[in-house]
Structure 1
Amino acid sequence: MENLYRQAYEVLTEQQRKEVLESLATRRPGLKLQRFESFDRFGMRTETAVYELDGAEFVFVPGDTVTLGWESFADGLDADTQADMDQVMEEYDISDLTSFLESMMSPVRTMTVAPMLVERKLHEIGWHRVAPDSEVMVTRRSDIEEFEASPYKSIIKNKQLRLSRSSTGTVVEEYKPIAYAALIQTLQEQGYSLPTEDEWEYLCGGGTRTLWRWGDSIPYDTHLRYFEEAALKGTPYDMELPNQFGLHIAYDPYKYEVVDAPCMLKGADGGSFICGGMGVALGYLPVATYFQSPDDTFDDYKADIGGSYTRYRKVIRL
């Protein structure tokens, strides 16, 4: 078990590391090692393996004792990010930037995070594909025909029916509410868990002390260039690329990630800051590693954790 923690894991020889990674495939029926892979991002690197289980990819993330939470800048803001934040501070009469940011971050603490297998990509919650012989195909036929005659690639009708195009025809999906507690119970019955807040912050930043997982400043060159240049459309957005553990995480301020913790939601604010005119830097503050959504967000999601703004990933603790 000691070799699954970073301090011991990183001093293993390549052969020893592969033997450890191969042994993990025996921990759960159906788990298959697909390939050994290295992920290098934002100055951090992990030699790991990619596994397949139930049609999804998982990566091994070594355990570690790390400092989590935020109270001050590690590197400081660059000129562009400082100017962006200064403008918003003046507009909203914010007198002290550090205190303002700290009020929205998790507290600083030192935690030991156990090793785990982590799903690389996120799942939607509550949407289910409708079978061709379902009653929905009859009762909502007019909506389906209207969509098929439209130029749209996808639409959502009354928050309950989603229609989209595919190479084989129209995809019809129905939304069924699911409570937060029910989602956790369902995953547990399947042998999975949601990450806790501590685990999520570690998976996102790997213990980095900067505001975002990539640093204390917004990469305006790649961020704005992506939205301005048509040639980049359809290509991976820089923030969407895998992080140092091989995870696609904290890249969209509109999409919360559900965690098993009192805070419930991490990595987004549903787009509130961006839509509220907070500029680019503060608009993307909710994807900061240690950002905590305000408590008044939680009650809205306890009865129904799904919808357009929430996603989840599964973890297997080792």
Structure 2
Amino acid sequence: MTYADLTFEQWNKRSDDAARRIAAEIAGRLDLTVVGLRSTVYAGRSHRVALFDRAGMRFALVPGGRPTLGYDAGRFQPAAGQADSFADSADEYGLPSLAEYVDAMTSPARAVELPARLVAVEAFDPGEVPLAPGDPLAGLAVMGLRTTTPDEWEWACGAGAATLFRWGDRSPDDGYPCDHRTGPHREANLWGLAIGQDPYRHEVTTERTIVCGGDGGSATCGGSGFFLGWLTLATAYRDEQFGQWLASDAGYADGALTRPVIELG
């Protein structure tokens, strides 16, 4: 088995000594430094996190497998506050039913095959890549990196959680994400990644029209309603219009982040 074949279950079943050997071998092959291994619990699920360093950039091991990504809004049962918030937004903006709207704003449920990989713990401004100022993302390839695909991003964010958000189905009904400086959205996720924490910090993917992890703050800035503001942090959130506009000549590059990946194959 190559390390690209390493699944969530296989990795967590390894003994601590075996896990340390795997981490050391990955680091040796890819010229990385092992920062450490630690056990973590997020939203009731446990995992062994492996962290690596490359020239000051921190990466975490994200195991592979055949996960189900996307979201089926038919299984969403909103809390009273979520339903009330959406009803107010629907009245103001002429939106369809809550289930129809959530379905339209999330990627469809689907099973995919994903190999294990290393994913950057923090996303960063691609303009900070010094190697290709005219095409910052091309600079990642020169560094032996690339940005995430949409499927990789969802898996990296949700870590297989079947709920709307990576922490569950509930969201606060007394403010937008930026109003809550603490909470599950501010914590590192199951893989140890700081991801999907702030709708203003949306991330580009390999698909030019698909951004993840936020909507550029549009729902929050526009006062669209608390539930709509939190929905932008849903693992499978997709704002097609925003993505298409962002990729057009009228769009902007400032503020969009990228999350590098190192392949293990």
TM-score (norm 1): 0.73
| CA apart distance, 1:93 | 2.7
Paired residues of 2:114 and 2:152 also in contact (CA < 8 A): yes
Structure 1, residues 32-79: CA drift from partner, whole Å, max 9, x if none?
A: 001112232112222021111011111111112111111225462122
Instruction: Please list, as runs of the form range in 1=range in 2, the aligned pairs for 1:290-301 lying within 5 A after superposition.
Output: 290-295=236-241, 297-298=243-244, 300-301=246-247
Residue segments in structure 1 that go unaligned for 5+ positions in a row = 130-176, 229-234
Question: 1:256 corresponds to which letter in structure 2?
Answer: H
More strand by share: 1
Partner of 1:116: 117
Quick one: which of 142, 161, 165 aligns to 1:189? 142
Paired residues of 2:208 and 2:247 also in contact (CA < 8 A): no
Secondary structure at 2:38's aligned position in 1?
Answer: strand
Count of aligned pairs between the two proteins: 260
Paired residues of 1:124 and 1:306 also in contact (CA < 8 A): no
Residue segments in structure 2 that go unaligned for 5+ positions in a row = none
* Counterpart-to-counterpart distance in 2, 1:28 and 1:301: 33
Question: 2:152 corresponds to which letter in structure 1?
Answer: E
| CA apart distance, 1:299 | 5.0
Instruction: Please list, as runs of the form range in 1=range in 2, the aligned pairs for 1:89-168 lying within 5 A after superposition.
Output: 89-126=90-127
TM-score (norm 2): 0.87
Question: 1:8 corresponds to which letter in structure 2?
Answer: Q
Quick one: which of 147, 166, 180 aligns to 1:213? 166
| CA apart distance, 1:215 | 1.5
Instruction: Please list, as runs of the form range in 1=range in 2, the aligned pairs for 1:59-98 lying within 5 A after superposition.
Output: 59-72=60-73, 74=75, 76-98=77-99
* Counterpart-to-counterpart distance in 1, 2:26 and 2:148: 19
Paired residues of 2:208 and 2:243 also in contact (CA < 8 A): no
Secondary structure at 1:50's aligned position in 2?
Answer: strand
* Counterpart-to-counterpart distance in 1, 2:177 and 2:218: 23
Partner of 1:245: 191
* Counterpart-to-counterpart distance in 1, 2:179 and 2:101: 28
Secondary structure at 2:257's aligned position in 1?
Answer: strand
Task: State yes or no: 1:317 paired with 2:263.
Answer: yes
Task: State yes or no: 1:55 paired with 2:8.
Answer: no
Rg larger for: 1
* Counterpart-to-counterpart distance in 2, 1:225 and 1:265: 18
Partner of 1:22: 24
Task: State yes or no: 1:259 paired with 2:261.
Answer: no
